[in-house]
Structure 1
Amino acid sequence: MPSVFSRRTFRLTALLGGLGLAASVLACPSGQQQVCTVVCFCAPFSQADIGVLYEDVSQMAASGLEQWLLQSRETVAASGTHPIPLHIRAQLEPYYGIGVLDAARYKVGDSETLSAANTLLQNPDVQAVTLIDIIVFRNAADAQDNVALWAHELLHVQQYQQWGVREFARRYTRDHNAIEAPAYKLQIEVERALRNQLISNTKQR
């Protein structure tokens, strides 16, 4: 799942990142602190004030992401989804419990999907996005054959189940790398296992 939000949320996230910058580009007068948004400037804030502002912006960004996820999920669900293909499911049963495998659905993105997910998938670098329990794939081939990508996206389904949408949005807004890292780790693990299995099968012939 890529780290892309709605435009409003993106602006909030950019502000949030700017507020967290610690580089001392400006030498601020006594009683003022450096604040960075698009540019850096000195403002009559204390460190405590900046901490409160940082928290407020973080909450706004998380709320925006939460609404984006919920609305996009409903839009995609209304247009029809499918269960995990059986051959994909069989290969991922060692990695996931039945609760995740039964809950997950998928759809292949197309020009008629009127949702933020479809807009996001116009980016050729994005192969799939998980909207709570629905995985939207850019290409039908990935939905049918890319076991490792399924493993990655199913980890996000599991995260939603464990944390709920609000907490997922809060964590993703604060540190999306911490959310994505275990998914990429499992994706690589599954790719390696499939490659080793293919090599083993080839040697046995």
Structure 2
Amino acid sequence: MSKSRPSRPLLSLVLAAGLSASAALYACPAGQSEVCLGGCICVADPDGVFGVLQEDARNVAAPALAQWLTQSRDRMLAAGVQPLPLDLRVQLQAWYPDDLLQAVRYRVGQGQDVDAASAMLQNQDVVAVTLIDVVVFRNEDDALHDLALWAHELKHVQQYRELGVDGFARQYVRNFNTLEDPAYAIQNQVSRTLHSTAARSE
């Protein structure tokens, strides 16, 4: 969802709503439950109370996130969107099927478009947000020229297609890394390919 690795934009939406989501990549020892309030720790929980509360929070957060994604996408479509620029589409055919590339739309955020998303996501460093099949970019230069960023965002479009909006939201709330890691991997792969091609042409 952004160029730099540290951000967790959609997870911030969950935290901003007063809910918590698990981002840990390990399981707590027996008799302990994971408690997340911005970060995750294992605490003694012999009765399993915290674990149940954590799962309840996820069950509330995921539908709220799915609804926000759908409504935000609809607002962007109503405001006006454009197809993926042709030169980028041709280059991205090495990584994505043509039907996905033809279906995706984008919008360059104007004032409140991206600012509202950034405020909602509690992350002012967001340079692009994928709303199902609409990518909202903070600036036009990224939308027209940043092939690696497009590759990242298109991975999310592909994930929405595979999981559905509800499934994507559930997975993001449960462990955003399972969605973000593949997106960053393809972004890095495309970036390396571009640098390698540029180095060979010098």
- Give the TM-score of the pair, scaled to structure 2: 0.79
| Correspondence 1:3 to 2:4 | no
Q: Percent identity?
A: 43
Q: Distance in 2 between matches of 1:44 and 1:199?
A: 55
Shift of the alpha carbon at 1:152?
A: 0.3
Q: Which moved more, 1:112-121 or 1:142-151?
A: 112-121
| Correspondence 1:166 to 2:166 | yes
Shift of the alpha carbon at 1:182?
A: 0.6
Give the one of 11, 20, 24 matched to 1:13.
20
* Structure 2 contact 14–173 (Cα < 8 Å) conserved: no
Secondary structure of the corresponding residue to residue 184 of structure 2:
helix
Q: Which digits, 9 at most, give the CA deviation of each residue in 1:45-94, with x for residues without a partner? A: 822x4443322211101111111101111111110000000111111001
Gaps of 5+ in 2: 2-7
Q: Structure 1 10/22 Cα, relative in aligned 2: closer, same or farther at 3 Å?
A: farther
Q: RMSD in angstroms over aligned alpha carbons?
A: 3.2
Secondary structure of the corresponding residue to residue 94 of structure 2:
coil
Specify the alignment match of 2:149 in structure 1.
149
Q: Distance in 2 between matches of 1:35 and 1:123?
A: 24
Q: Structure 1 7/196 Cα, relative in aligned 2: closer, same or farther at 3 Å?
A: closer
Shift of the alpha carbon at 1:13?
A: 1.8
Q: Which moved more, 1:145-154 or 1:4-13?
A: 4-13
| Correspondence 1:108 to 2:108 | yes
Secondary structure of the corresponding residue to residue 60 of structure 1:
helix
Gaps of 5+ in 1: 24-32
- Give the TM-score of the pair, scaled to structure 1: 0.78
Specify the alignment match of 2:76 in structure 1.
76
Secondary structure of the corresponding residue to residue 113 of structure 2:
coil
* Structure 1 contact 152–187 (Cα < 8 Å) conserved: yes
* Structure 2 contact 127–138 (Cα < 8 Å) conserved: yes
Q: Tell me: higher relative CO, structure 1 or 2? Use CA pairs within 8 A at least 6 residues apart.
A: 2
Q: Distance in 1 between matches of 2:100 and 2:187?
A: 16
* Structure 2 contact 9–121 (Cα < 8 Å) conserved: no
Secondary structure of the corresponding residue to residue 88 of structure 2:
helix
Q: Distance in 2 between matches of 1:199 and 1:147?
A: 17
Shift of the alpha carbon at 1:35?
A: 9.0
